Amino acid sequence: MTAPKVVIGLITYGQHSLQYLSDFLAGLEGQTYRDYELVVLDNSEAAESANYLWLRQYNDNLRIIRPGVNLGFGAGFNLLIRAARELEAEYFFVANADTYWQPDALALLVSALETKPSLAAAAPKVLQWDFKHKIFSGTIDTCGLVLRSGLRFIDLGQGEVDAGQYDQAAILGPSGCAGLWRLSVLEQIKEGDDQYFDANFFMYKEDCDLAYRLNLAGWSSALVSQAIVYHERTASGGASLQATLAARAGKSRQVKKWSFLNQLLLWTKYWHRQSWWQKVMIVTRCKLTSAYALLFEPYLLPEFLNWWRLRTKLKRY
């Protein structure tokens, strides 16, 4: 069997994934670029989950990995990347089930990596998708990850109306909802056997960690603004303070816990790579977020105990 040029990795879990599968696969089947193979990891604990049964009915030959436990995003995608390496693919696409791709999206992303060997990854322009009403909006979900002071990673343009204002913008790397990576580069910067994403990040900000590691290793990423992907995001920021606070109010406690913990892990991993001024900014941000948690979201404070437990497992930079 001929090796696929691209392996598209998809993680499914629970009803959240199930509701999107039909639309996701319709978008995938409509791609003009055909040299790919879809590999799915079903994170469901059930022996025969609804996602697994649905996918088997869709295509009984589909390659599905079933660990029998919810590994989360980082560890789950590590298994999918390992499968892509075993298939001898050149590129790996991280895909979320709650995305829908325009027909030329994959072709444009592959072309960007083919024509620029210096690129480690290519990010599509991701616009917001109202799945319930099947509305593809012109509002930006992310144009890729960028780094701000105090090791603060943000989705570029999130919440803004797209007018092409970021089409030529420099980015740190793709968001974890959709992006194409060069597998040979991921192999170079992995942190251990099959540890491409840091598995200590169960969910959220693991894409920030990977993008920053690639950047520190001298690799660059690019936004391919003509490649359009639509995404229904369940956890987001906003274009203004008011929008950010409103978005935060809509997040679940679990999402906030993961995000809070993983920001602490990012500060810990990369503390020694920061200038004295950045260290001041990190300490200031840590104090402010801790005070906010103490006053308004005290359920976040136990995450300091999780951080203390995990800190010794981190590779420091």
Residue 250 has what pLDDT? 65
Query: Quick one: 36 and 163 in the same domain?
Result: yes
- Note whether 134 and 152 are within 8 A (CB): no
Residue 47 has what pLDDT? 76
Indicate which CATH number applies to the domain containing 49: 3.90.550.60
Digit-coded pLDDT (tens) for 214-244: 999 999 999 999 999 999 976 555 544 555 5
Residue 46 has what pLDDT? 83
Q: In terms of pTM, does the model score above 0.85?
A: yes
Whole-number Å distance between alpha carbons of 220 and 17:
31
Range 127-145 average pLDDT: 95
Domain boundary at 175, 202, 231, which?
231
Whether 304 maps to a domain, the answer reads: yes
Whether 118 maps to a domain, the answer reads: yes
Residue 261 has what pLDDT? 97
Domain boundary at 196, 231, 266, which?
231
Residue 54 has what pLDDT? 95
Residue 2 has what pLDDT? 86
Residue 77 has what pLDDT? 97
The residue among 240, 235, 247, 257 whose CA lies nearest residue 305 is: 257
Residue 308 has what pLDDT? 97
Query: Quick one: 49 and 144 in the same domain?
Result: yes
Please, what is the Cα angle at 145 between 21 and 69, to 5 degrees? 45
Number of structural domains in the chain: 2
Query: Quick one: 37 and 121 in the same domain?
Result: yes
The residue among 210, 23, 187 whose CA lies nearest residue 98 is: 23
Range 21-48 average pLDDT: 94
Whether 242 maps to a domain, the answer reads: no
Q: What is the 3-state secondary structure (H, E, C) of the chain?
A: CCCCCEEEEEEECHHHHHCCHHHHHHHHHCCCCCCEEEEEEECCCCCCCHHHHHHHHHCCCCEEECCCCCCHHHHHHHHHHHHHHHCCCCEEEEECCCEEECCCHHHHHHHHHHHCCCEEEEEEEEEEEECCCCEEEEEEEECCEEEECCCEEEECCCCCECCCCCCCCEECECCCCEEEEEHHHHHHHCCCCCCCCCCCCCCCCHHHHHHHHHHHCCCEEEEEEEEEEEECCCCCCCCCHHHHHHHHHCCCHHHHHHHHHHHHHHHHHHHHHCCHHHHHHHHHHHHHHHHHHHHHCHHHCCHHHHHHHHHHHCCCC
Q: How confident is the model at residue 246 (pLDDT cuts 50, 70, 90)?
A: low
Task: Using the structure block, give the residue that is written with the tokens 């913990």.
Answer: 261
Query: Quick one: 12 and 79 in the same domain?
Result: yes
Range 171-175 average pLDDT: 97
Domain boundary at 197, 231, 265, which?
231
Whether 150 maps to a domain, the answer reads: yes
Whether 243 maps to a domain, the answer reads: no
Work out the mean pLDDT of the chain and round it to a whole number: 93
Query: Quick one: 141 and 270 in the same domain?
Result: no
Q: What percent of the chain has pLDDT over 70?
A: 94
- Note whether 155 and 208 are within 8 A (CB): no
Query: Quick one: 172 and 65 in the same domain?
Result: yes
Query: Quick one: 176 and 260 in the same domain?
Result: no
Whether 282 maps to a domain, the answer reads: yes
Whether 241 maps to a domain, the answer reads: no
pLDDT at 98 over 90: yes
Query: Quick one: 224 and 265 in the same domain?
Result: no
The residue among 221, 144, 150 whose CA lies nearest residue 178 is: 144
Query: Quick one: 125 and 96 in the same domain?
Result: yes
Query: Quick one: 65 and 202 in the same domain?
Result: yes
Query: Quick one: 92 and 221 in the same domain?
Result: yes
pLDDT at 139 over 70: yes
Q: What percent of the chain has pLDDT over 90?
A: 88
Query: Quick one: 26 and 104 in the same domain?
Result: yes
Pairing of strands 220-231, 170-171: antiparallel
Q: Which domain holds residue 175?
A: 6-231
Whole-number Å distance between alpha carbons of 136 and 132:
11
Whether 213 maps to a domain, the answer reads: yes
